Amino acid sequence: MAPQEVGATAPGVSGRGDAPHDDPGGTPRRAATIALSTGSAYTYGLSRVFHLAADAGYEGVEVIVDERWDTRQEAYLNRIARGTGVAILSIHGPFPSQRVAGWPSDEVGRVAEAVRLCEATGARTLNLHLPERFQVAAVTAMGRRFLVPFGGATPSMHRFGEWLTGGGLDEVQASTKVQIVVENLPMRRVFGRRLHAHRYNDWESFRQFRAVCLDTTHLGTTGADLLEIAARLGVRIAHVHLSDYDGRNEHLMPGRGTLPLEPFVQWLGRRHFAGTIVVELTPHGLPAHDEARLRAEFARAREFVAAAFQAGATMGTAATTRTAPHGDRS
């Protein structure tokens, strides 16, 4: 059952992700914009991932910026985009606290650098992570890996949190056509207890952001209902990271976990979602050792999203026709 959206509007929400139609003539959107996250095959070189995305039928990719120069030099990125015919639809900023040579060390400065990269490559969306609440060390004992928190957040994380909620994000957004979205993040188990490792990651705090990226796997780790949260966030959802979750393993292929991904994507189709749906998988759950099989898995994931979205769009159009002249306002 698709969620019933709560609230038709949200104050200050604007941009491509909120538009109910994909052209000025008002033709309802029937096809999803689907991208492949380069993180889905981060064990491969970047050019190879672009070629896989092209072969699997994706319109574009989301490039995750990391320590490799290939992920953040616009001349190279534009060259492989032209060579493969695969657009760079979005940029995922570097993970907080990750060292990126040549970029500012503070998070606010790195946002400015990431916006510049978006503008230089034509990416229409910049995806940001929330600030960390504390630092974490990974400890292996008795064959198991444990996360151990220590200290508090770094000064950079404190400044980043204040910048996100104190007007800094709004100021940068007003200066660029790139839509900046904030992503919900997973809960972590620390000594057997589940807790939020990032600020503003509970759903009430998260709703303060005007444009968000809803990551389905990360939502799954919280135990929340995907359809209910989608309804609560409503038009704030401007970008989607799509993957499945089985209660333990994150970023699985659709259908290999327990999340209601099909009705969720149908809901997006029914409301003519105009943002990008990014297939974001883990290569550790895929046949990365076999390129042909990996390509087939990527194609299957794209076909899943396309079919569910089109089914939802068709249902939405039928509902509009039946209820004319008022139409479906969800």
* Torsion angle in degrees (nearest 10) through CA of 222, 330, 303, 242: -20
- Cis peptide before 325, with omega less than 30 degrees from 0? yes
User: Given this model, what pLDDT does residue 157 score?
Assistant: 87
Euclidean distance between CA atoms 51 and 2, whole angstroms: 34
Tokens of 82: 């032209």
User: Given this model, what pLDDT does residue 166 score?
Assistant: 97
Measure CA of the first residue to CA of the last residue in the chain; give whole Å: 14
Tokens of 149: 């928190």
H helix count then E strand count, the chain:
10, 12
* DSSP bridge pairs for 62: 37, 90
Amino acid identity of residue 218, one-letter, is H
User: Given this model, what pLDDT does residue 16 score?
Assistant: 31
* Torsion angle in degrees (nearest 10) through CA of 165, 131, 149, 102: -150
User: Given this model, what pLDDT does residue 134 score?
Assistant: 65
Give the Å distances, CA to CA, from 25 to 131, 198, 277, 328, 329. Answer: 41, 42, 23, 18, 18
pTM above 0.75, yes or no: yes
CA atoms within 13 A on the CB side of 77: 26
Q: Which residues contact 223 (CB under 8 A, 6 or more apart)?
A: none
Q: Which of 209, 200, 207 is nearest to 230 (CA)?
A: 207
| Domains, the chain, with CATH or none | 16-322 (3.20.20.150)
- Tens digit of pLDDT at every position of the chain (330 positions): 556 544 333 323 233 333 333 443 445 556 899 999 999 999 999 999 999 999 999 999 999 999 999 999 999 999 999 999 999 999 999 998 788 999 999 999 999 999 999 999 999 999 999 998 866 656 676 676 656 656 666 888 889 999 999 999 999 999 999 999 999 999 877 666 778 889 999 999 999 999 999 999 999 999 999 999 999 999 999 999 999 999 999 999 999 999 999 999 999 999 999 999 999 999 998 999 999 999 999 999 999 999 999 999 998 776 654 443 333 334
- The CA radius of gyration of the chain, in Å to the nearest whole number, is 19
User: Given this model, what pLDDT does residue 17 score?
Assistant: 34
Q: Is 103 helix (H, G, I), strand (E, B) or coil?
A: coil
CA atoms within 13 A on the CB side of 24: 0
User: Given this model, what pLDDT does residue 330 score?
Assistant: 40
Element (DSSP H or E) covering residue 120 = helix 107-121
